[in-house]
Amino acid sequence: MQNVPMTVLANARVIDGTGAPAVESATVRIEDGRIAEIAAAGAGAAAPGGAIDVGGRTLLPGLIDAHAHVSSDHSRSPGFGPPPPRKGELPRPRELGYFILAKAASAMLAAGITSVRDVGAYDDEAIVLREAVRLGIVEGPRILSCGRIISATAPGGAIFTTMYREADGPEDMRKAVREQLRRGADFVKLMATGARSVLVEDPEPAQMTTEELGAIVDEAHRLGVRVAAHAEGLDGARLAVQQGVDTVEHGLSLHREPELLEAMAARGIVLVPTLTTFHDLADRFTSDFPAPLVEQAKRQREEAYRTLVAARDAGVTLAMGHDSGPPGDNAIELVRMVQGGLTPLEGIAAATSGSAAALGLEDIGTVTPGAVADLLVVDGDPLADIRVLNRPENVWLVLQSGLPVAGRGHVPMQP
Ligand SMILES: [Zn+2]
């Protein structure tokens, strides 16, 4: 890694990720990987010597995907992985998957995704990739992983195999939490309800008892890690909120009980609506799923959009969670949140500071003094057209901790 103690980005239109309006013609000074100062220089002011002139482009926090499955399984990413095997070819070595993971990491970074929260991967793939990035072996976003998802014994376990750790009874739930920390998990994910993609699972009732879910939350919090709860039906969502989880994943049924949204807002529980995953089942991969699941997804999609607006109106912190593929297309979720009723500033806040809140990291996701300088500079005006943020060709510069790592403007800056 180069040692760049100070970087100055001049002539930037800054959207700081807090929901505040854009600041025109600003200069952002970075010191030791963190933002030291944002100064409004005034239109037409000359860039200070040694500064990178970003030419009036929009500068914002790097985007954060708060619900991803960091996996070499590319079934939701047509065209991203290797071509399908043909008869007569030797079996593909399993280890090819690690190269697919490295490709996913660089694709996300090139799209301006600087942090990712993995909410369940097969084997320990997300933790392996996290370590590869952390150790500087491959370039990629900062990754937080839950290890395996803690689920009650359920049909989903037969489908999702090593992505799940099935457990039953409060004591086994506590052991399952401890096992994830032993694997290197950064937080804990649980299934409060079944999953919409499993034919014989009804996603409506709670899948765990109060004692089981409560034991997971208690054990995780006692040991200092956060809890994410997959919750589709209302009973599971209510149980998760009542037992004090930190984030609710999907949460589409919450519009039916406004008191729960109010409780989430009051307690700082973040909602990750994952609109894209409902589109996947409702209209993108319809031939891959039995018809009843496609019909169910259509109903769920409508509820998810209703909950998005109801949660915003209730003051719940929202986060961007793609829960789909291909890697690098993550900000389609941001586009959908804005199409669903958030203002562009609200959407950007969800994809930056809101997602940072979901990750439990206070020093990323904003362009404010003291924040880690994970930044994105794009062509165009995302406040006029949010789709600007989901076009990799618009990415001019991506910085991690103040160091340029991707974007069209990256290469010319090399000495
Ligand atoms: Zn998911």
pLDDT tens per residue, range 316-349? 999 999 999 999 999 999 999 999 999 999 999 9
Q: What is the pLDDT of residue 76?
A: 86
Q: Which residues hold their Cβ within 5 A of ligand 1, which is an ion? A: 323
Poorest-confidence range of 3-17, 59-73, 299-313?
A: 3-17
Percent of the chain with pLDDT over 70: 96
Mean pLDDT computed over every residue of the chain: 95
Distance from the CA of 64 to the center of ligand 1, in angstroms?
A: 15
Ligand 1 centre from 388 Cα, in Å? 25
Kindly give the distance from the C-alpha atom of residue 66 to the centroid of ligand 1, in angstroms, as a whole number.
10
| Closest CA relative to residue 237, chosen from 217, 221, 252 | 252
Confidence of residue 44 (pLDDT cuts 50, 70, 90): low
Tell me the per-residue pLDDT of 178-200, one tens digit each, with 9 for 90 and over.
999 999 999 999 999 999 899 98
Question: In terms of Cα–Cα distance, which of 65, 122, 71 is closest to 100?
Answer: 71
Note the pLDDT of residue 6: 81
C-alpha 398/C-alpha 113 separation (Å) is 9
- Cα of 41 from ligand 1 centre, angstroms: 43
Angstrom distance (rounded) from CA 304 to CA 296: 12
Q: What value does the mean pLDDT take over residues 359-373?
A: 98
What is the 323 CA–ligand 1 centroid distance (Å)? 5
194 CA from centroid of ligand 1 (Å): 12
The whole-number average pLDDT for the span 260-287 is 96
Contact residues for 46 (Cβ-Cβ < 8 A; gap 6+)? none
- For the stretch 318-327, what's the b/e string if a residue is b when 16 or more beta carbons lie within 10 angstroms of its beta carbon? bbbbbbbbbb
pLDDT, average across residues 134-150: 97
Mean pLDDT of 278-290: 93
Residue-wise pLDDT for 94-113, tens only, equals 999 999 999 999 999 999 99
Per-residue model confidence (pLDDT) at position 49: 78
Please check the confidence at residue 41 and state whether its pLDDT lies above 90: no
pLDDT above 90 covers what percent of the chain?
90
Render pLDDT for 212-222 as a digit per residue (tens, 0 to 9): 999 999 999 99
DSSP 18: S
> What is the rounded average pLDDT of the residues 168-180?
98
Confidence of residue 5 (pLDDT cuts 50, 70, 90): low
Lookup: tokens for 335: 């586009």
- Whether 415 has a pLDDT exceeding 90, the answer reads no
Question: From its phi and psi, is residue 113 left (phi > 0), alpha (psi between -120 and 50) or beta?
Answer: beta
Rounded distance from Cα 71 to ligand 1 centre (Å)? 11
Cis peptide before 85 (omega within 30 of 0): no
Provide the pLDDT confidence category of residue 413 given band limits of 50, 70 and 90.
very low
Separation of CA 25 and ligand 1 centre (Å): 39
Please tell me the predicted confidence (pLDDT) of residue 166.
98
Q: What average pLDDT does the segment 386-391 reach?
A: 97
CA 230 / ligand 1 centre spacing (Å): 8
What is the pLDDT, as a whole number, of residue 4? 55
361 CA distance to ligand 1 middle (Å) = 20
pLDDT category at 412 given cuts 50, 70, 90 is: very low
Expressed in angstroms and rounded, the spacing between residue 35 Cα and the centre of ligand 1 is 32
Q: Which of 27-31, 78-82, 370-374 is least confident?
A: 78-82
The residues near 136 (Cβ < 8 Å, ≥ 6 apart) are 1
